Structure 1
Amino acid sequence: MALPIHQGGSFSSSTHRSDHDVFLSFRGEDTRNGFTGYLYSALCDNGFKTFIDDNLQRGEQISEELLKAIKSSRISIIIFSQNYAFSSWCLDELVEILNCKQNGQLVLPIFYKVNPSEVRKQEGNFEAALAEQENKFKNNIEKVQRWRAALNEAASLSGWHYENGNPEHKFIEHIMGHMYTKLSGKQLFVAKYPVGVNSRAMAIESLLDIKVNDVRMVGILGLGGIGKTTIAKAVYNGIAEHFEGSCFLESVREQSGTNDGIIKLQKKLLSSISRGKHLEVESVAHGTNMIRERLQSKRVLLILDDVDKSNQIENLFGNFDCFVSRSRVLITTRDAHVLSTLGKDCTIYEVKELDKQEALELFTRYAFQGNKLEEDYFELANQVLQYAKGLPLALTIIGSDLYGKTTSEWKSAI
C-alpha cells in the first residue's frame, strides 16, 4: 500500500506570512546555468521575490533555512529535468512542497525536456533514478515510497511542458503571464451579491472561446445599470490568467474627454500589458504607437469598459489589426452603433434584465440582508420589482435604501 506523502510539520496559509513570492525547486547540475537561471532572472525582473538555493550548505537532510523558505513562499515551481530524481535533496524538497500545498500553497510543475508521464509513472531516467534511490536507502524503503507518491502527485498537477527545439524565451514569457496574474492581485471585485452574473459571464466566455486560434471581439451591449461592467469583471477574473498580458480599462467614456485623460488610459494599458513597468507617454499619438507595438508581440485580454464613441478606441491603439492570434477584446457599451462600426468581426452579446426570480433574490439580499422576505412586505416588494424592471443597479440601490425600514416607510418611498 502506498504511504501518505504528507507528514511532519505544516503551516497555516491563513496566518503564515509570505517572505517569498516564488520558491524554485530544481536539479542544479541540469538547469542552474540555463533554463532555471533565465526563469529566475525573469521572475526577479518582473518584481517577484524569488528564492533560489544558491549558497545553501548541502547535507543528508534539508536545512532549516530551506524548509523555512519553502513554507514562507506563496508559490512553488518544480522544474522536473532528466536527472531531478537522482537527487535525494530534490525529492525531499518535493515532499515538503506538497506538504505546503495541503495548506494552500500553489504548486506549479515545469517538465523541462521530460514527458509528464515519465515523472508520473517513473519511467526512463526516473525509473533508473528511483532504482538507485532504493538501493541507497534499502534500510528506509518507506522514504523511497514516499518519493514515488510525491512524483506521481506533482506530475498530475497542471503545469507546463517544454520540449526541445522551442524558443526558451517564449516559453518563459508564457509562464510570466500566468505568474503575473497569480501574484499581482489582479482579480477584480465583482459584486457583493453577484446574482445572475455567472450564467451571463459563462455565455460571454463561450463566445470568446479562448482555445480557438484567432482574434475575437465581443461587445457587451445593454442599458445603464444592467450590469455590463459587473459581468465583464467576472469574465476577466475567469480567463485573464490564460493570456500573456491583460488589462481591464474602466470608465473609457469618462476619461476620454481630454488629452490628459486619454494619455492616462494609455499609460494604464501599457503598464498592464507590460507587467507593471512604468512607461512615459509624450502624447496621444506616441501612446497609440507604443501600445500597437506591444500588442503585436503578445497574446492579450483587453476589456474596454463604457465606450460610447469609436474614436475612443482609435485613440488607444488605432485599429484591431495589431492584435496577435488568440488575443481577445471585450467592449461594454450602451450604444449599438459603436459595435456596428467594428463590423462582422465583433460578436454582440445583449445583456437581458434579471428575470423575476433573480430580481427578487437580489432585492431581498439588499433589503433584508439575505433574510427571508417577510409576508407583510410581499406586496410592497412586488411593486419595487415592477418599478425596477430587472435592472440590477436599481434593485441594489432601492433595496439598500429600504433595509431596516417599516412598511409605512416602504409605502412612502415607493
Structure 2
Amino acid sequence: MALVTSEGASSSSFTHQPNKFDVFLSFKGEDTCFGFIGHLYKALCQRGINTFIDDSLQRGEEISASLLKTIESSRILIIVFSENYASSTWCLDELAKIVECKNTDQLVRPIFYNIDPSEVRNQKGKYGKALSKHEKKLKDNKKLQSWRKALCEAANISGWHYKHDCTEFEFIQEIVEEISNFKLNRMPLFVAQYPIGINSHVEAIILQLEIGSDDVHMLGMYGPGGVGKTTIAKAVYNKILDHFEGSSFLEMLEKGQGHLMALSNYKRYFFVRP
C-alpha cells in the first residue's frame, strides 16, 4: 500500500481527543439554572444530545482540572451570557478555556440571554462593573486581561440572542435544532470491529493533510484489495471530522473507482484506489 500526495509531508499541530460530551454548557447558575438552562438542558437531552451541565451552585475559587478536561473533550461549547455571568471568576475561567479550545477547532457558540452582545464585547454596564471589582481583588493582572480578551472574542462569535420576540420555548427549540443538525452531520463511520494496528497509518496521513493550513491538499492511497485502505480512510475521516464545516465520504461501489472523502471549509480531498 502506498500514499501519493500533492504536498510534501510536514509536521502538524493537529491533536485529537475522544469526545465525552456533545455539548458543554457554561452559565451563571443564579441567573439561569432554575429556568432557561434547565429547560435548554432538558430539551437537548430529549433530542439525544449528550450534554454536560455543572449545576452545583457552591463553587470554589479555582476551576477544577477535571472540569477543564470536560471542556476539552466536548464537541460543542455553549456560553450562556446572562446579566451576572462576569461576576463569577469561575465562569470567566471557563470562558477563557472555551475560547482557547475554539482555536483547536471545537465549535463555540454564545447565547445572549437578557443581555446585549455589545455589553459583553465592550465590557460595559454590569460586565464592566464586575470586571472592575475583580481588578481590585486580583493580584494577577494577566488573568484579568485574559478574561477581557475572552469576553471580546466570544461576543464576536455568531450565536443566539434572546430578544423576547418569540417565546422562550421557541428560542430553545431553535438552538436545539441547530445543534442537532450539527451533530447529525458529524456521525462517525463504522471502521472495524477490531481496528488493530492502524493508528500509525492514520497519524501519518493526518500529518500529510496538514489540518489548519490554508493550502489545498489532495492525497491518494492505493494498493491491492484487502490490505485495509478503506478501513484506514474511515478512521482518518472520523478523527478529523469535527475540524470541518462540511464533509462526506463517498463509496464508489464499482470496481476500480475507489472512495472519495471531501471535507469543506479547508479544502482536503482524500482518494482511495483499489
1:172 correspondence with 2:160: no
1:161 correspondence with 2:153: no
Q: How far has the Cα of 1:185 moved from its partner? A: 2.5
Deviations 1:193-216 (A, max 9, x none): xxxxxxxxxxxxxxxxxxxxxxxx
TM-score w.r.t. the length of structure 1 is 0.42
Q: How far has the Cα of 1:132 moved from its partner? A: 1.0
| Partner Cα distance (1:63, 1:56) in 2 | 14
Match of 1:86 in 2: 87
Asked if the contact 1:94–1:150 (Cα under 8 Å) also holds between the matched residues in 2, the reply is yes
| Partner Cα distance (2:126, 2:26) in 1 | 18
SS of equivalent residue, structure 1 residue 164: coil
Match of 2:217 in 1: none
Question: Which amino acid is 1:160 matched to?
Answer: W
> Counterparts in 2 of 1:91-106, with a 5 A limit?
91-106=92-107
Aligned alpha-carbon RMSD (Å): 3.0
Q: How far has the Cα of 1:186 moved from its partner? A: 6.2
Q: How far has the Cα of 1:58 moved from its partner? A: 2.0
Match of 1:39 in 2: 40
SS of equivalent residue, structure 1 residue 111: strand
| Partner Cα distance (2:91, 2:176) in 1 | 24
Q: How far has the Cα of 1:165 moved from its partner? A: 5.6
SS of equivalent residue, structure 1 residue 38: helix
SS of equivalent residue, structure 2 residue 180: helix
Q: How far has the Cα of 1:56 moved from its partner? A: 8.0
Deviations 1:162-221 (A, max 9, x none): 02363000001111111011112268xxxxxxxxxxxxxxxxxxxxxxxxxxxxxxxxxx
> Which 4+ residue blocks in structure 1 deviate beyond 3 angstroms?
none
| Partner Cα distance (2:99, 2:127) in 1 | 19
> Counterparts in 2 of 1:260-409, with a 5 A limit?
none
1:184 correspondence with 2:184: yes
Change in 2 beyond 3 A, CA 1:13/1:58: farther
Change in 2 beyond 3 A, CA 1:19/1:13: farther
Question: Which amino acid is 2:178 matched to?
Answer: H
Asked if the contact 2:29–2:57 (Cα under 8 Å) also holds between the matched residues in 1, the reply is no
Match of 2:126 in 1: 125
Structure 2 gaps of 5+ residues are 1-12, 188-244, 247-256, 261-272
Change in 2 beyond 3 A, CA 1:26/1:159: same
Match of 2:213 in 1: none
| Partner Cα distance (1:175, 1:129) in 2 | 28
Asked if the contact 2:102–2:108 (Cα under 8 Å) also holds between the matched residues in 1, the reply is yes
| Partner Cα distance (2:120, 2:95) in 1 | 12
TM-score w.r.t. the length of structure 2 is 0.62
| Partner Cα distance (1:19, 1:186) in 2 | 14
Change in 2 beyond 3 A, CA 1:126/1:179: same
SS of equivalent residue, structure 1 residue 78: strand
SS of equivalent residue, structure 1 residue 41: helix
Structure 1 gaps of 5+ residues are 1-11, 188-237, 240-365, 370-402, 405-414
SS of equivalent residue, structure 2 residue 75: strand
Match of 1:148 in 2: 148
SS of equivalent residue, structure 2 residue 76: strand
